[in-house]
Amino acid sequence: MTAPTTPARLAKTRTADMAADAHRHRRQRRLRRRGPLWYLGYLLLLVWTLITVVPFLSMLLLSLHPTADIYAHPLGLSGRWMLSNYSTAWRGTVGGAPLPTYIVNSLLITLCSLAIGVTCGSLAGYGLARATRALSGAVSRIMVLALSIPLIVALIPTFEILGRYRLLNSVLGISLVYAAFMTPTIALIMRSVFAAVPRELLEAAKIDGCGEFAALLRVVLPISKGGFISVSMLGLIFVWSEVQFGVVLLTRPQNRTLSVGLLSFQGQFVSDQGAFFAGLTIATFPIVILFLIFQRYVTNGITLGALK
């Protein structure tokens, strides 16, 4: 015998059927909306994903081959496989420093540059957000104009200034240079972040006895965490991958950054391409992982900097 159908069971079954029908109708409507442009956009996204991912996979594959096989098979899909390239890259080249030295130098310079650049850029951004519209617009245009100038133009003057104050081959010297270059971008992004903070919160903080700087520390900064993560990631990527100024301002092997130290594997007459790609893999993938973790904050920060 079957159990009698109760009203509660009937209602539950009817609710489930209605939910299934609604889900089926929504799916059909979505499929009807997907015209040729939708599939074209999806195809373009797939192509862009391949263009982005394939170089990293190729770099990883080439790091597992000797130099002769890399020249014979540029994509790294065939040839001899060897893990010794990573040990060679870790030891470094003759006349150069080992890879851990470059990593430590890059970490120190990145931390110093971010500490100076994020602090100065955030203070400048807060000042622009609190200034009058005319003053804020004028200073912002000057910063945008400064960003349009190629960095290579400032290479020789920067070298002369650091040489005059004996800051060549020093962590402080190149950290100041990197911080100066990233400050305008950080200021523009943080200006947009701070401008989105409701003025009622600042007025309430002033009523409680907070000054301008205290309101910034106690009210604005805690709710602007996403903006700080965004500018920190952008600054990290810039400092970690910069080569032009590092080659000129850091001439001693023991003072070079990771991106500059990897150039020692490519000499004038002999180059070790396998070790070079192994070093690139060691240097690249930690930054890629960090970027994927904080990608949402970076995207939001760039969007705010473009809209405001």
Asked if 234 and 184 touch (Cβ cutoff 8 Å), the reply is: no
**pTM (2 decimals)?**
0.80
Rounded Cα distance, 130 and 239, in Å: 29
Rounded Cα distance, 112 and 171, in Å: 8
Average pLDDT in the 200-224 region?
Answer: 82
Please tell me whether residue 107 adopts helix, strand or coil conformation.
helix
Q: Is the pLDDT score of 41 beyond 90?
A: no
Handedness of CA 228, 233, 236, 241 (dihedral sign): negative
Rounded Cα distance, 181 and 11, in Å: 66
For the beta carbon of residue 114, count every other beta carbon within 10 angstroms.
Answer: 24
The one-character DSSP state at 218 is I
Find how far residue 80's CA is from the centre of its chain: 34
Q: Where are the alpha helices (DSSP H) in 34-132?
A: 36-62, 67-72, 84-91, 99-130
Asked if 85 and 277 touch (Cβ cutoff 8 Å), the reply is: yes
pLDDT-based confidence at residue 306 (cuts at 50, 70, 90): very low
Asked if 121 and 231 touch (Cβ cutoff 8 Å), the reply is: yes
* Rounded (10°) angle between helices 133-147 and 99-130: 150
Rounded Cα distance, 9 and 36, in Å: 45
Q: Is the pLDDT score of 111 beyond 80?
A: yes
pLDDT tens digits along 132-187: 889 988 999 999 888 888 888 999 999 999 999 999 999 999 999 999 999 999 99
Q: Is the pLDDT score of 4 beyond 60?
A: no
Q: Comparing C-alpha atoms, which of 178, 183, 185 is closest to residue 111?
A: 178
Average pLDDT in the 104-109 region?
Answer: 95
Within 8 A by CB and 6+ apart from 239, the residues are 106, 109, 110, 113, 114, 178, 182
pLDDT tens digits along 48-75: 988 888 888 999 999 999 988 988 888 8
Give the model's pLDDT for residue 258: 93
Within 8 A by CB and 6+ apart from 83, the residues are 64
